[in-house]
Chains A and B, each alone.
Chain A
Amino acid sequence: MLLQILVNGISLGSIYALTAIGYSLIYSILQLINMSNAAVFLTSAVIFYALYTSLTGSSVLLTFILTLMAAGAIGYVIEVIAIRPIREKGDSNTYALISSIGVKTILEQICQGTFGSEIKQFPTLLDGKYIDLFGARTSAIQIIIILTTLFILGFMSWFTQNNRVGRGLRALSQNLNACHLMGMPVNTLIGVSFAVGSMLAAVSGVAYCMYLKSISISVGSAIGNKAFAATVLGGIGELKGAVVGGYILAIAESFVSGYYSMAASNFISFGILILVLIIRPTGIFGKKEQKKV
């Protein structure tokens, strides 16, 4: 039972973590909570569904790759259209936040308009296959989600440490002005950060719907809110915080729904969020801003 709950928590945590990285990455650079992230989660799942049922039904992998590319493009375009003009005018981040809420609403409306509001069956992988993991009955899709997430986290770590663009993103989060002064392509890099966040949300969205074997237009805000809570729990602006926060939150939820009730698990995650905000508003890894003069 214990192990079973843990495995469930880790696979759900993987889904939270991937979306949470997107929130944290953009916050680390612009101090902006990009509310459109949750809608990209949903939109990507809808795109996957639409592609799979109409065009690429034979290949999950091809569908997945096309969905990722679409999500990356959507993220980049969101930045260019809805965020950049506000940034460049030097307006307050509150305007950018509201703009991102606008984007979220528009994307959700488009999804609702094209997809409809009913629950539909979502394609999954290795349906009905289970693996016995030290007594925990683990579905194949759970294993796939966990392994894929580990691979992506490893890739992100390499990308931000050793890749020129990835390192550039970390530089942006430390001192945007210095990045301008060093002649870095700041706008392009910020666009890339939105693309990366969106692609992670896409992986997360598709994975979640595969896990549920179903899709409805409410999945975005449900998971988006949890992922945001995870981001705050880990310390917003810290990528590893987003990951740790995602796993802690999901494992806690998993325990509550395992030992107590499913309905109480939501109560727990947002309860944790409020507690963190009261006791340690910077989250687990977040630090108070310190600047050396």
Chain B
Amino acid sequence: MLQVNDLHTYYGNIKALRGVSFHVEKGEILSFIGANGAGKSTLMNTLSGTLKPKAGQILFEGEDITKLSPRDRVKKGIILAPEGRQIFPKFTVEENLLMGAYTVNDKELNKRNYEKVFELFPQIKDRQKQIAGTLSGGEQQMLAIGRALMSDPKILMLDEPSLGLSPILVEQIFDLINEINNQGTTILLVEQNAMAALEISDRAYALETGEITIEGTGKELLHNDLIRKSYLGG
């Protein structure tokens, strides 16, 4: 579905991605795990189109999208729920979701997605008119994911969805990611919380200083000695 070939991206003067190649299969949950500064967010931003790669190629459903704008990528079905959530703090929950649907002109589809978001996240359903900046961290994360889902994506990219959340909320968010995947959306996940990510992943890659070092199924990586030592605390 998504094929990435030899991607090189600079972040300022720092070479943050050093020839990353991978693919995403339709319907799977794929994770990238790695420490702070490994290049995970740079990868997400390159895939979403807000960072331009120096070299390399991104193919989506066989089509080269390397030079497309973020907007065109969203229209094709790739969207990122960014690190730190980046919701619109002064907007209500409802207005935030409307912004996620900016590329969708089909009113019926918007209505269906709107209802779907609240089925997934009943917690924010009662808060439709609440100012988003006043939501709790967990609710803001749900809103950020919900907002991305409003674009009716084929691939949902999630950058550190567990960041700053309590263990119970982390579990809840990952259950919901699994649920979104079961409903047919392909997931590309980037996480520092390797344990939580690997448990729900079909496949995973470890990213280290801009390069893929290990790849395998979620289970394989969970039991890989190197991974256990580096990311799972022994």
Chain A residues near B (Cβ < 8 Å): 164, 167-168, 170-171, 174-175, 177-186, 292-293
Contacts and interface: CB of A to CB of B under 8 A. Distances in A.
Nearest to B90: A174
Contacts of A292: 89, 133, 140
Top 10 closest pairs, chain A to chain B, by CB: A183-B74, A183-B103, A178-B86, A183-B71, A174-B88, A184-B102, A180-B70, A171-B99, A182-B99, A181-B80
B154 interface: no
B155 to A, nearest CB: 13
Interface string B73-103: 1110001101010111111000100111011
Given A181-B70, A292-B133, A174 B89 contact: yes
Contact of B91 (A164, A174, A180): A174
24 contacts: A164-B102, A168-B99, A168-B102, A170-B88, A170-B91, A174-B89, A174-B90, A175-B89, A178-B88, A180-B71, A181-B50, A181-B70, A181-B79, A181-B86, A182-B79, A182-B99, A182-B100, A183-B74, A183-B75, A183-B102, A183-B103, A184-B103, A185-B71, A186-B71
Contacts of B216: none
Nearest to B100: A182
Given A182-B74, A183-B75, A184-B99, A293 B86 contact: no
Given A167-B98, A167-B99, A293-B84, A182 B89 contact: no
Given A168-B102, A181-B50, A175 B88 contact: yes
Given A167-B98, A174-B90, A178-B82, 16 more contacts: A168-B102, A170-B90, A175-B87, A175-B89, A178-B86, A178-B87, A180-B71, A181-B48, A181-B70, A181-B86, A182-B99, A182-B103, A183-B102, A184-B71, A186-B71, A292-B89
Contacts of A167: 95, 98-99
B147 interface: yes
Interface string B89-120: 11100010011101100000000000000000
A183 B73 CA distance: 8
